[in-house]
Amino acid sequence: MNEPWSFQGRAAAPVARLIEELHRLPGVGPKGAQRLAYHLLRATKEEAQALAEAILDVKERITLCSVCQNVTDVDPCVICADPGRDRSLVCVVEEPLDILAVERTRGFHGLYHVLHGSISPMEGVGPEQLKVRELLERLRDGVVKEVIMATNPNLEGEATAMYIGRYLQPLGLRVTRLARGLPVGGDIEYADDQTLARALENRQEL
Ligand SMILES: [Zn+2]
C-alpha cells in the first residue's frame, strides 16, 4: 500500500483525474505522473493554458503528408517540398520519430515514407493497416530508384522489410536494408547518430 500510486485516491478528484491522464502517456510511470500533476498544479493559469492549447493545436492542425505520410501542418510536408532533396531515394521508416533520428545523422538527403507501425501478427497488425498501399502508389511513376528499408532491427521490423521488399523488387527498384550494427531488438529512434549514419552508409541489398 506504500506505492505512490495508492495515494492517488486521496488526491482531490480533479488532481486524481490529471494524474490518471498523464499516466497514460508513454514513459510516464505513476510517480512521474504525480510529479507532473503537482508541477502543473503550481503553474500559473497562463502556463497551464499554453500547455492545454499546444495539445489541442496538435490535434487540430496536424495531419499526415499526402506524399510521405509524415505528421505535418503543411501538405506536402517541408521535407517533401524541399527542392534540395534527392527524389530518387526513399527511406521507409516505421514511425515519424524515426525520421528525426535519420535527419540527425545529416547523412541522408532523400525522401521518406512513414508506415505508421510494423507488421505484427501477434498484435493483429497486417500490411493493410500500414501505409504500404500509399508507398506502392507513389513508386509507380518511376522517379524513385532506390528504397531503403529502415524499419527497426527487431522481429516485426525485419518481417515488414521482407514483406515490402518482395513487392518492390519486381518493380525494378533497388531495395536496400540498413546495415547490421544497430542493436538487434532495438529501436531506430534511440540509435545513436554515428551508428545509424554508418548503418545507412553501409546499407545492403535486401
Ligand atoms: Zn512528406
175 C-alpha vs ligand 1 centroid, how far in Å? 20
99 C-alpha vs ligand 1 centroid, how far in Å? 11
User: At residue 196, what is the residue type?
Assistant: L
189 C-alpha vs ligand 1 centroid, how far in Å? 18
Cell of 122: 501477434
163 C-alpha vs ligand 1 centroid, how far in Å? 23
pLDDT tens by residue, the chain, 206 residues? 344 444 555 778 899 999 999 999 999 999 999 999 999 999 999 999 999 999 999 889 999 999 999 999 999 999 999 999 999 999 999 999 999 999 999 989 999 999 999 999 888 999 999 999 999 999 999 999 999 999 998 889 999 999 999 989 888 899 999 877 667 667 888 788 878 888 888 888 88
Please list, in sequence order, all residues whose beta carbon lies within 8 angstroms of the beta carbon of residue 199, skipping any fewer than 6 positions away.
Answer: 178, 179, 180, 181, 182, 191
The protein residues having their C-beta less than 5 angstroms from ligand 1 (an ion) are 65, 67-68, 70, 76-77, 80
Length of the chain: 206
How far apart, in whole angstroms, are the C-alpha atoms of residue 66 and residue 54?
23
95 C-alpha vs ligand 1 centroid, how far in Å? 13
69 C-alpha vs ligand 1 centroid, how far in Å? 6
How many angstroms separate the Cα of 80 from the Cα of each of 61, 74, 88, 116, 173?
Answer: 18, 10, 12, 17, 20
How far apart, in whole angstroms, are the C-alpha atoms of residue 148 and residue 206?
9
79 C-alpha vs ligand 1 centroid, how far in Å? 6
The predicted pLDDT at position 184 comes to 67
